[in-house]
């Protein structure tokens, strides 16, 4: 295996300004539709369409399956042992990172510029709940 990384684009950073894509513009990049999440109907059809439309703007391969398994296969395909992504507060992201570490892969997690400056408890069960918590912070003027 070489040290040239692959980039894992996670659902929290579906943007051309994703720090992992910008830091490693020539690295193979992937997004994984997590099969478990899809089967448990944790995403609405509107959310799936939104994510897909975002992905069409990004230089990523799109695959479906168990996230850790798919990322491991993608790393092997590209003769890599390093996965670069952007830190996320998502419990699901943390779970995937633990699974990848157990598989012996090296994770390089970049710190994104915060969307808002908020230090309270976050309700991450639904995007709408989270948005209600941080909405007033999101529209504050910053330089």
pLDDT at 43: 81
Record the pTM: 0.81
What the chain holds in terms of domains, given with CATH numbers, is 6-112 (3.40.50.620), 115-143 (no CATH)
Q: What is the tens place of the pLDDT at every residue in 8-67?
A: 999 989 999 999 999 999 999 999 999 888 888 778 889 899 999 999 999 999 999 999
136's tokens: 């007033």
């Amino acid at each position: 295996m070489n040290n040239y990384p692959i980039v894992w684009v996670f659902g929290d950073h579906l943007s051309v300004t994703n720090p992992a894509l910008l830091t490693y513009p020539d690295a193979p990049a992937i997004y994984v539709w997590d099969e478990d999440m899809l089967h448990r109907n944790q995403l609405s059809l509107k959310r799936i369409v939104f994510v897909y439309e975002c992905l069409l703007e990004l230089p990523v391969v799109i695959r479906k399956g168990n996230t850790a398994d798919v990322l491991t296969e993608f790393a092997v395909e590209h003769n890599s042992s390093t996965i670069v992504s952007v830190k996320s507060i998502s419990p699901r992201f943390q779970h995937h990172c633990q699974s990848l570490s157990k598989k012996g892969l090296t994770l390089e997690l970049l710190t994104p510029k915060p969307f808002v400056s908020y230090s309270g408890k976050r309700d991450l069960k639904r995007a709408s709940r989270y948005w209600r918590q941080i909405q007033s912070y999101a529209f504050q003027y910053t330089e």
